[in-house]
Structure 1
Amino acid sequence: MAATRTNPAKRTLPKPAGAAKPAPFEPVRIGRKKRAADEGVPLFYLTGDDGEDIEYRIPSKVPTSLSLEYLRLARTMGENAAAQRVLERLLGPDAYRALEQSDEVDDDDMLHILQAVVAHVAGPVDESGKGQA
């Protein structure tokens, strides 16, 4: 007896017994959630003209949109450009400008700040060098 093929148009998947009708699609509503005030976490201090430290903070919870922007920029422009952009967005224009215009910030300070921002946005790194979910 020769093998026969079933016409692809006639193939049907069996329906599970008692399968319920799928629920209608309900769109996700974004932007209606009430958020508690975020005091943030300190990222760095700059010494002011009066010799006192000025604390600069970033939000303790990073918005998902900013994490996604970081990932896209890291992929398309490189990690340094992504970290710089995220730092600017987290700090805001005034704090970023204060950091940018400080003659006291050296390469080690900047590296430390950028590493802290990346860890804060992308999450901690595990032993294999991959981020934790």
Structure 2
Amino acid sequence: MKRSGRNGPRPPALGAPPSGSFELNTPRDRAGTFEPQLIKKHQTYLSDEIERKILSLFGLGMAYQDIASHVAELYGLSVSNATISAVTDKLIPELKQWQQRPLGSHHPFLWLEAIHYKVKTDGRYEEKAVYTVPGLN
């Protein structure tokens, strides 16, 4: 097998609207066998995987700064608040559609309550819970 020699870095611009773009230096070789893992060849925007991670972190209630630091820690990418906002804004049409969906005529409710007691067992006190679950049909 012939070894492919390096042919220097190639700086494509990676857009991250609306915050602008940045250059990414990826090595290239003469045979074209180098394949980047995080940002694929000819890709001009953040990958779907990173967008899904941003959306899942946002869904967990993380702040934009926390999401940016988490993405930087995991992937080594600096993502601005504007980029995170642009990614999360893609959810707005889906959320509006979900809010305007027709509701069914039947909505059962459950209330979950627990009373915690300290119970002495084998000479030790343990906390145990008594659960009540009333329902409304």
TM (norm. structure 1) is: 0.31
TM (norm. structure 2) is: 0.30
**Richer in helix (by share):** 1
